[in-house]
Amino acid sequence: MSQPELVTVTIDGREVQVPKGLGLVEVALQAGIEIPVFCYEPRLGPPVGACRMCLVELEGVPKLQAGCTLTAADGMKVRTAQTSAKAAEGQDATLEFILVNHPLDCPVCDKGGECPLQDLTFRWGPGNTRMEFPKRTLEKPIPVSPAIALDRERCILCYRCTRFSESVAEDNQLVTQNRGASSVIATFDDRPYRAPFSGNVIELCPVGALTSTQYRFEARPWEIQNVPTVCGLCPVGCNVAATTREGKVKRMLSRNHPEVDEGWLCDKGRFAFTHLYAGDRLIEPLRRRQRSGLEEISWEDALDEAERLLRESGGRIVTALSGSETVEQAYALGRLLRGGLGAHTAVMPEETSQALDAFRLPLSAIREAELVVVLGDEPVAERAPVVELWLKAARRAGAEVHYAGDAHESCRRLAGSDDELGGRLRESERAILIWSGEDGAGGGHVAALARELGFDGKPGSGAFHLPRTANGRGVADAWACSDDGESEAPEQIGLLIVSGDEAAADPNVRVLAERAERVLVTSMFQSLAAGWADLVLPGTSYLERDGTTVNLEGRLQRQRRAVMAPVPDVVAWIAKLAERFGVELSPHVSVVFDEIGAKCFGGITFADVHERAELPPRAEKVSDTSKVSDTVASGSGLRLVAYRPLFSGAAVERTPELQFQKPEAEVQISPEDAKARGVRNGATVTVSSNGTSVELRARIARDLGAGVVRIPRDHAGDLHATVEVSA
Amino acid sequence: MGLKTMLLAGADEHDLTRLAEYQAIGGYKQAPKALAMSSDDLIAELQQANLRGRGGAGFPLGRKASLVDRKSPKPKYLVVNADESEPGAFKDREVMARVPHRLLEGCLIAAHAIESKDVFIYIRGEYLTEYEILQAAVDEARGAGLFGDVNVTVYRGAGAYICGEETALLDSLEGRRGQPRPRPPFPPVQGLYMAPTEINNVCTIATLPAILELGAAGFDQIGTPSSPGTVLFSISGNVEKPGNYELELGTSMRELIYTHAGGIAGGHQLKAVIPGGSSVPALTARQIDVPLDYDSLGAIGTFFGAASLIVVDERCCMVQLALRSTKFYMHESCGKCTPCREGTRWLVQILEKIERGDGEAADLDLLRKVCDRIEGKSLCALGDFAVWPVQSYFDKWHDEWVAHVEQGGCPFGGESSLEGIFAPSDQHTHSPVAEVPA
Amino acid sequence: MIPELRALGERYPDSRTAVLPALRLVQEQNGGWLTTESFEQVGEALGLTPAYCQAVASFYDMFHLAPVGRHSVEVCTNLSCALVGAQQVVDAFESELGVAPGETTEDGEITLRTVECLGGCGYATVVAVDHRYHQHVKPDDVPEIVKELRGA
Ligand SMILES: Cc1cc2nc3c(=O)[nH]c(=O)nc-3n(C[C@H](O)[C@H](O)[C@H](O)COP(=O)(O)O)c2cc1C
Ligand code: SF4
Ligand code: FES
């Protein structure tokens, strides 16, 4: 991309050199001048010039202009309210009109104290309103969904929320109804705003019109703290701020990392924090009593018990990791088990591949791409939600986005020399591959494909793998560098250590447990551990930890403890245990990290992991054995993709405000396949694979290729890999 | 000066809705002439003719056509604004009902000028009969192969005055809520479907065949140098013979009112004339010796607007007139920008109070201030349209306003010609809002 | 219905443009007003959300979101008609039909509305009866108009 030409703009007498076409609001900021705005929000697309708060005087134009719609042109001379009486009058007028029907109920408004309207009124506003007529009064607040409330009297009709719904999330569910003074923000037929990114409208709203039902009346701005951290619920690792009050998390806000999330969060990341306060949260350790369930024991006894289990099973230990642990937790476990007991065998949630490091790009590069190919039939939004928003942004920017279907098959097809799409991928300077399939080895496959297509030499082309876990890569690397010994997987498992809730919920881990003499589980929740564990050590949430994680880009990010856990810190008690086995391990995360940093993050220290972490440069040379997949999809009939929905899992289960978001008992089917089987949209159908069958509502999905059906895992019953659908 | 037919030429003698009859009087002979020219030459000719837009802004058609980005790889669009919703205007309707083929021939000429193959005619939804006539004409002309490779689509609006504003019209034509867009970008650069678009009023386009026939030079002989040609004027209200009269630009307003429209009805006296449709400042009886052209009307502080005169006699209360007018603009405000949406509603509240007789001196003051605070601040001109007339009624008939306050009621004591007219405008609003009566 | 609506979508450079014609068609087929199902239908056919369709419909005066009578009587009450007695015409309809503007007769036959300028200012008072203009309407003409309607 060529350098944009610089132009000179004069604002309130100050000259600034800025790129031609830069928005005037930004130009003004560079000159140290604030142009107040309400509706202006560049992330929502082109300016709409609706609220008229930004009125300025433009030399040579008699009428006041909306500053937000002006762009820098050479010789442009602008006077804002600071130096132009006319502009000031205009702004004052706008504020008076906005307040004409505003309830001015700041004392009882959640936005009070952090409300742009309140601030601007203090700074510019008319001291007293001349409006003495009945204000527009409307039914309030009305639920936009179980998670969002709308107060239409406070709404200033800036259309930020509806523009987000139309032009960013593209769900077109939150709209404006009626005209003129009767315009209101609404959903269809007052049904809930049911979409994965709905919560962003709360943050976008410049007044207290759209508020979080979780946060209503929970806190006032001067009582809260916003702790900068990183979301731990998916591999994107959106940058967030946890608002806390009196040691409790009250809400999650975005903390715009322009390369990772651009300030958007999915509703899981935003609302699911309430799992910290779930009824079945484990506080005390539990030990199995001879055929009489679990009994609470003290932490001291629990550590003794753990020590006993470790000693008696000698080396015959297998560790099942979740991939949601911090780098430091995984490393600490590794030091204890591998270093202290020579127990090197671990079950990783997914394979990870270093090969991708050679094709590393920031997620924001997706928007710059001209050609994007998604490999695999798992909905991107369900695996790594915010990536879906980058894809939509890419499409809006004119990129061609392809859904290639079965990951392995399309990998082979695209690698082939005669494939048309493959050919264009080779030619393009800005092409991106995204693996969104179940197979954890996808990282290696997609990397191999990228190399095959000659992406190495192209800084604009890259590849991503959407893993299932938040920190799979970090956990694998940390475990790997925690010790360099090796050992055979034990014939007979003496002790199975299950680290964390994802592992505890994993059917494969349960199978292992069958084969284990003893099972030690760390988990946040009673229900996940009860029944099969001999010893349960209460776990912590990502909001209660200090440490680091590695997201799907390969970006090392800092997780900060937002609130103290009601239980001991995991690294701390592992350190205690380690001591008993003569392993030297600091209970302090920063010390632990510096040790890891030296070994596997190129010698960086804890302090080097910044608030908005940078993406490490592409690996020049990676020793890598991965090759383009050669697994062949088998069987006839329709291939079943039983995906793990975004709105599922331990945290979502424990968040009342998210229950309505859970996927319905639906089978998604391509238009072709539906036609061939006489299946109508919305009709109840039978999905069967030899022996078993389930009744589901059919939804015809235009984004789905023929030969595949999609069913949320929880609704797929025991269906096999290939199924039939009948009306 | 005076009566002169050009737009409606031949319409009295023939049924020009019929293709054959239109062709019999020389119809569809001008379009081929235009098509024989290069688009550059055609634009040059149109610029020389200096035909000014009849839709309101009076912007020269040739200039606008020259601004269309003809180099763009995107298709170019010609959009005819047939949304005619300005109170007092009914001229476009007559053109479509009586000389539809002249409009279509004009479309072919304008389309060629901007190298467009796609013409949309956006006609207000209420004009059902006119739509049928126009659609029939389109089918007949297309059937006769007169359109060549140009597609002409007649698109019906659905009841929204704002859709006459050109960018709101484009949004409506794209299947959206018809709300104005910020400018720049201007339609000639980025209009319908983000492609270069020329938008013109029905009468503007229907004048093009005459320009081709007379040549720019010949056309400039008619009317005044700065406002050449004829205009179909709508005149309504308290006159003997209301209707449409096609006059040379520059004809005096007095001649239109007294000679052609037969003067004030029922021997009443002239009180006010709103010269451009209800959205412009009104003139007093003493101001009507003015030539009807863009500049002369501009010179006395009003606008040529939609060339639609509303004549008001002495029986009308100007406060009621202001209230009724403002209710219209409040109802038609699209709701996108703050000053227009909130300001018009506030104005109505103040006007109702004054009209009821509950107003105080302070309210008169407030009314004028609120008008001034809306003026020039809104996203499109609707905000101005709402306040310009009110400001003029307020300033020019000030005693009536003071009287309302001093006498605690309407000085006309229930005798005003507008007494009782106030159709509650909220009747139009749609059900889903639960508006709790204050 | 859906195929008809899809066909509308194909008429224009962008199927979204068909939303007004589609809503109009569905409204005509549904006794003059739009229901929840109407929006779902149009949305399904044109690939838009029902919310979007409802948002569009609620912007325009000619789409009705609540039940209306079989026939519509719309009296223009804007300036030009008002100046020459539109209000008396409204009054005449009110007493003839026994309903106020915005209401529908008991038998669900006729909805009376007062509307903004219909573009017939020179031929006041203008009354649109089932969208056909009657011009120069005087109060005395009202009974005849209503009789015709009821006959129809
Ligand atoms: C609120 C508003 C309503 C308008 N209504 C109409 C209309 O009904 N018909 C029309 O031709 N122009 C109308 N205009 C003017 C158009 O925006 C535009 O200037 C005109 O159609 C250009 O055509 P012309 O250059 O041939 O006059 C309106 C403008 C505004 C601000
Ligand atoms: S709800 Fe908030 S964001 Fe939406 S229009 Fe109203 S003020 Fe703007
Ligand atoms: S910020 Fe410019 S109009 Fe709203």
pLDDT for A630 beyond 80? no
pLDDT at A132: 78
Whole-angstrom Cα distance, residue A435 to residue A394? 17
Give pLDDT tens digits for A498-511.
Answer: 999 999 999 999 99
Inter-chain contact B158–C63, Cβ cutoff 8 Å? yes
Distances (CA, A) of A355 to A450, A452, A490, A599: 10, 13, 30, 19
Ligand 1 site: residues with CB under 6 angstroms? B 53-57, 59, 81, 83-86, 162, 164-166, 199-201, 204, 380-382, 385
Give pLDDT tens digits for A365-423.
Answer: 999 999 999 999 999 999 999 999 999 999 999 999 999 988 998 999 999 989 999 99
Q: Which residue of A has its CA nearest to B338?
A: A51
CA distance C151 to chain B (A): 22
> DSSP character for A620?
S
Average of pLDDT values for B267-280? 97
Inter-chain contact A189–C36, Cβ cutoff 8 Å? yes
The pTM of the whole model exceeds 0.80: yes
CB B295 within 8 A of CB B141: no
pLDDT for B323 beyond 80? yes
CB A680 within 8 A of CB A380: no
| Among candidates A172, A178, A179 on the partner chain, residue whose Cβ is nearest the Cβ of C52 | A172
* Contact status of A88 with chain B (Cβ, < 8 Å): no
Inter-chain contact C51–A179, Cβ cutoff 8 Å? no
Give every CB contact of residue A217 below 8 A, 6+ residues apart in sequence: A110
Give pLDDT tens digits for A9-64.
Answer: 999 999 999 999 999 999 999 999 999 999 999 999 999 999 999 999 999 999 99
In this structure, what are the phi and psi dihedrals at residue A561, rounded to the nearest 5 degrees? -70, 115
CB A54 less than 6 A from any atom of ligand 3: yes
Give pLDDT tens digits for A642-694.
Answer: 999 999 999 999 999 999 999 999 999 999 999 999 999 889 999 999 889 99
Sheet architecture: strand order including A462-465: A400-405, A371-375, A431-435, A462-465
Tokens of B174: 């794209």
Inter-chain contact B338–A50, Cβ cutoff 8 Å? yes
Q: Give which of A651, A650, A647, A682 is closest to A661, Cα–Cα.
A: A647
Q: Quote the ligand 1 centre to B89 CA distance (angstroms).
A: 12
* Contact status of B358 with chain A (Cβ, < 8 Å): no
Give pLDDT tens digits for B219-234.
Answer: 999 999 999 999 999 9
Q: Write out chain C residues lying below 8 Å of B236, CB-based.
A: 80, 83, 121-122, 124
Give pLDDT tens digits for A536-580.
Answer: 999 999 999 999 999 999 999 999 999 999 999 999 999 999 999
Whole-angstrom Cα distance, residue A198 to residue A268? 10
Whole-angstrom Cα distance, residue B203 to residue B207? 6
CB A159 less than 6 A from any atom of ligand 3: no
Inter-chain contact A174–C51, Cβ cutoff 8 Å? yes
Per DSSP bridges, beta strands A142-145 and A148-150 are: antiparallel
| Chain C partners (3+ C-beta pairs within 8 A) | A, B
Rg of chain C on CA atoms, in Å: 17
Residues forming beta bridges with residue A518, ordered by sequence position = A495
Q: Quote the ligand 2 centre to A146 CA distance (angstroms).
A: 18
Lowest mean pLDDT among A116-130, A496-510, B74-88, C14-28: A116-130
Q: Quote the ligand 1 centre to A661 CA distance (angstroms).
A: 46
> DSSP character for A273?
G
Whole-angstrom Cα distance, residue B156 to residue B150? 19
Q: Quote the ligand 1 centre to A386 CA distance (angstroms).
A: 43
| Among candidates B265, B312, B432 on the partner chain, residue whose Cβ is nearest the Cβ of C58 | B432
Q: A488: pLDDT confidence band, cut at 50, 70 and 90?
A: confident
Pocket test for ligand 1, best of B166, B169, B329, B337 (most atoms within 8 A of CB): B166
Mean pLDDT in chain A?
93
Inter-chain contact C50–A188, Cβ cutoff 8 Å? yes
Q: Which residue of A has its CA nearest to B348?
A: A133
Give pLDDT tens digits for B29-79.
Answer: 999 999 999 999 999 999 999 999 999 889 999 999 999 999 999 999 999
Whole-angstrom Cα distance, residue A158 to residue A354? 46
Mean pLDDT in chain B?
95
Q: Which residue of C has its CA nearest to B160?
A: C60
In this structure, what are the phi and psi dihedrals at residue A260, rounded to the nearest 5 degrees? -105, -55
pLDDT at A531: 83
| Among candidates A90, A98, A130 on the partner chain, residue whose Cβ is nearest the Cβ of B366 | A130
Q: Quote the ligand 3 centre to A47 CA distance (angstroms).
A: 8
Q: Give which of A641, A652, A548 is closest to A271, Cα–Cα.
A: A652
Q: In ligand 2, which atom is closest to the CA atom of A158? A: 8
Closest residue by CA, ligand 2 atom 4: A161
What beta strand segments (E) does B112-259 contain? 118-123, 151-156, 197-201, 230-237, 243-248
pLDDT at B422: 62
Q: Which residue of C has its CA nearest to B433?
A: C58
Q: Write out chain C residues lying below 8 Å of B332, CB-based.
A: 116
3-state helix, strand, coil in chain A (%, to 5): 30, 20, 45
* Contact status of A182 with chain B (Cβ, < 8 Å): yes
Pocket test for ligand 3, best of A26, A41, A68, A120 (most atoms within 8 A of CB): A68
Pocket test for ligand 3, best of A35, A39, A71 (most atoms within 8 A of CB): A39
Average of pLDDT values for A121-131? 71
Inter-chain contact A93–B346, Cβ cutoff 8 Å? no
Inter-chain contact B182–A97, Cβ cutoff 8 Å? no
| Among candidates C11, C19, C84 on the partner chain, residue whose Cβ is nearest the Cβ of B238 | C84
Residue numbers of A between 115 and 174 with CB closer than 8 Å to B? 130-131, 133-139, 156-157, 159
pLDDT for B429 beyond 80? no
Mean pLDDT in chain C?
95
